[in-house]
A and B are shown apart, each in its own frame.
Chain A
Amino acid sequence: MRSIMRLNMSTLSITTEPVPDAWARYGGRALTDAIVFAEVPPMADPLGPEAKIVFAPGLLGGTSAPNGGRLSVGAKSPLTRGIKESNAGGQAAHALAKIGIAALVVEGVAADADARYVLKINADGSTEIVRDDSLAGLGNYATKDAVDATMGDVKRYATITIGPAGEMGLKSAAVAISDPDGYPNRFAGRGGLGAVMGSKGLKAVVIVDEGLPYLAHADKDAFNAAVKKFANALREHAVTGQALPTYGTNVLANIINEAGGYPTRNFSEGRFEGVDHISGETMREVTVERGGNVKHGCHTGCVIQCSRYFVDKDGHYKTKGVEYENVWSLGADCGIDDLDVIAELDRTCSDLGIDTIEAGVTIAVYMDSGKLAFGDGAGALALLEEVRKGTDTGRMIGNGAEATGLALGVEHIPVVKHQGLPAYDPRPIQGIGVTYATSTQGADHTAGYSITANVLAVGGSVDPLKPEGQAALSQGLQIATGMLDSLGFCIFVAFAVLDIPAAFEAIHEMAEAHTGQKWDADALMQLGRETLTMERLYNESAGFTAADDRLPKFFYDVALAPHDAVFTVTDAELDSVHDFVAETATAMGISKP
């Protein structure tokens, strides 16, 4: 039976309860949303005692569902001040699910603000909460080492940790999840959830799954058949079977640059002259030459294998990936074209525990103020070290692009709902602009990845330079993403699912065979709609209006080379993206919290 484990940091008590029937079909994002929706007042201080942070594996977590081991981390975001689900790979989701935990909810705040606590959940479900103030100020890597030193003979466990940025309550602070090799390098990066964890005095969670098998299924044979069908589709599709495992996510750099949508030097140009130095093809060459690993899963059960380790010139591990988003944010957006510099910046962000997207966008905004030249990698690294020191400048940087841009009077601040834009300019790729504008999450490409049909010819084709069809495209993808995030799937399965009907069928077949509940195509999309509906209603109560569903003005006014594009999707079309919310809320029997 799935349970909800609650850790109250005010009382240092732990309780466990069954998942209520109303949430029996919810996992991952749907479940973190349902808990935040029901239990965190929308006007609560995101770092105060009313706030909660929720860690939830998907509904298929703890099973062999291919790419089904993603973790949802949910809270009210200190960055967007709306509801947030930040999604990560790593080993924690499977570990929690195998123990039977559908959600770990951390509530309250520690009485002593200087205290640092570690929660240990053992394979039998027993728990220990240990105070260890020596962890204060440690980076994620040192924190992981310190935790490892306490584990004795236990070899198989996952960790969830924060770095100093989370302890300082900075709005770009991330949550680190350990990967299959134990590196704390997979992140619930967006929205400052590391600060929520830090505000509670919780520095680390250790989840031991040694000796635990995958979960049992309602119908084992049907589940295994659906798994096989799904894995075959992922292996068969050219993106998930070939491009991603060979080149990693950074295979995108050249094609987004070719399309003129690769934001360069704080979104002032759409192509970066240095792209060839930092592309996925070049990164693979460099990594192979140095003896790095160029193909592995970020979590057990991944069949796509797009993760890799970047190594330094001596062949030593530096960081994971580097992922497309981070090569862009810390590279092209800052005018930096040196992979080793980018990897050092990525490693530093990971260790500090700040979101790499927000960090890069923030440094680019800082550079745009004239205080640092675009392309100055050493200067960028020094700025990040200010974050570690907790200086005024460091705290400004750690609070993100908007905080930095406002403090320095920068004209072009690329944020929506206070969150920095990812690696696609919304002017020549308008479908992603719809997602940035309308997502409940703030500017977030993963919320509805319109790049598929706009640029990549996956799941159909919609002209990226025109407004027509973009709202419908984004809406469909946002709903589908809500569903995938709730089941615990990596959203990269969507590349195959959008093109291969059998892959989509396999998803509801796995859900039905595992849970014994009735699942079909309609039920999957309803799950996505319910997820977005809870988020949307929550945000309305947190004070968001239609005015928050817009891009910054310069995307409408300032034409971007090479296509001289501006964003032309109308306000009415943007407002149509959530046209299903009222009806879904009625069907769910919920109203604004």
Chain B
Amino acid sequence: MQIELALFAHLTSYLPPAGADDGPGSSHARPMDLPDGTTVGQVIARLDLPVGPRIVFVNGRHAPDSHSLANGDRLAIFPPVAGG
């Protein structure tokens, strides 16, 4: 299956390099091929993200690390951020 992975703020540098045929897109998002049923936690481990709190969205809704991803999902991960 393929998902869209998006990383922000300090985590942006953990994005896999853009592929030649990825086309123009967000500087924060990449398509990512994964085995069916991969969980959010497994993606985080695969990316080797730094230990610490993070905020995870799947399709714009908060999701726990145990959440199983589906084809076409958008997974977005943020370090703690705030402002206003």
Interface hub of A246, A254, A306, A461 (most chain B Cβ within 10 A)? A254
Give the A interface residue count (CB, 8 A).
Answer: 44
Nearest-CB residue, chain A, relative to B59: A562
State whether A242 and B79 are in contact (beta carbons under 8 Å apart), knowing that A258-B57, A259-B60, A465-B61 are contacts in the complex: yes
State whether the Cβ of B67 lies closer than 8 Å to any Cβ in chain A: no
Nearest-CB residue, chain A, relative to B8: A254
Main SS of chain B's interface residues? loop
Residues of B within 8 A of A465 (CB): 61
State whether A456 and B81 are in contact (beta carbons under 8 Å apart), knowing that A238-B52, A258-B6, A281-B12 are contacts in the complex: yes
A residues 408-427 near B (Cβ < 8 Å) are none
Docked complex Cα distance between A246 and B9 (Å): 9
State whether the Cβ of B40 lies closer than 8 Å to any Cβ in chain A: no
A residues 238-268 near B (Cβ < 8 Å) are 238-239, 242-244, 246-252, 254-255, 258-260
Interface hub of B12, B57, B62, B80 (most chain A Cβ within 10 A)? B80
A254 x B83 contact (CB < 8 A): no
State whether A243 and B9 are in contact (beta carbons under 8 Å apart), knowing that A252-B83, A456-B82, A563-B60 are contacts in the complex: yes
Binary contact track A208-250/B, C-beta < 8 Å → 1, others 0: 0000000000000000000000000000011100111011111
State whether the Cβ of B19 lies closer than 8 Å to any Cβ in chain A: no
Q: What's the least CB distance linking A79 to chain B, in Å?
A: 20
B80 x A282 contact (CB < 8 A): no
State whether A495 and B57 are in contact (beta carbons under 8 Å apart), knowing that A281-B28, A282-B27 are contacts in the complex: no
B10 x A243 contact (CB < 8 A): yes
A251 x B83 contact (CB < 8 A): yes
Q: Which of A171-179, A391-399, A443-451 sits within the interface?
A: A443-451
B27 x A276 contact (CB < 8 A): yes
Of B10, B27, B76, B79, the residue contacting A258 (CB under 8 A) is B76
Interface hub of B9, B12, B60, B83 (most chain A Cβ within 10 A)? B83
Give the B interface residue count (CB, 8 A).
Answer: 24
State whether A457 and B80 are in contact (beta carbons under 8 Å apart), knowing that A254-B8, A281-B8, A281-B9 are contacts in the complex: yes
Main SS of chain A's interface residues? helix
B78 x A458 contact (CB < 8 A): no
Docked complex Cα distance between A336 and B60 (Å): 23
State whether the Cβ of B55 lies closer than 8 Å to any Cβ in chain A: yes
Docked complex Cα distance between A154 and B10 (Å): 42
State whether the Cβ of B35 lies closer than 8 Å to any Cβ in chain A: no
Q: What's the least CB distance linking A491 to chain B, in Å?
A: 8
A residues 546-593 near B (Cβ < 8 Å) are 562-563
State whether the Cβ of B53 lies closer than 8 Å to any Cβ in chain A: yes
Residues of B within 8 A of A562 (CB): 59-60
State whether the Cβ of B17 lies closer than 8 Å to any Cβ in chain A: no
B57 x A259 contact (CB < 8 A): yes
State whether the Cβ of B23 lies closer than 8 Å to any Cβ in chain A: no
B84 x A251 contact (CB < 8 A): no
A238 x B28 contact (CB < 8 A): no
**What residues make up the interface of B, taking CB atoms closer than 8 Å to A?**
6, 8-10, 12, 26-28, 52-53, 55, 57, 59-62, 76, 78-84
Q: What would 6 more interface pairs be, CB under 8 Å, given A247-B81, A258-B76? A: A243-B80, A243-B82, A281-B27, A324-B83, A324-B84, A457-B55
30 contacts between A and B (CB under 8 A): A238-B53, A238-B79, A242-B80, A243-B9, A243-B79, A243-B82, A249-B84, A250-B83, A251-B82, A254-B9, A255-B8, A255-B55, A255-B78, A280-B83, A281-B9, A281-B27, A428-B60, A445-B84, A449-B84, A452-B82, A455-B55, A456-B82, A457-B80, A458-B80, A463-B62, A465-B61, A491-B84, A492-B84, A495-B82, A562-B59
7 residue pairs, one from A and one from B, having the closest CB atoms:
A249-B83, A238-B80, A243-B81, A252-B83, A239-B82, A260-B60, A251-B81
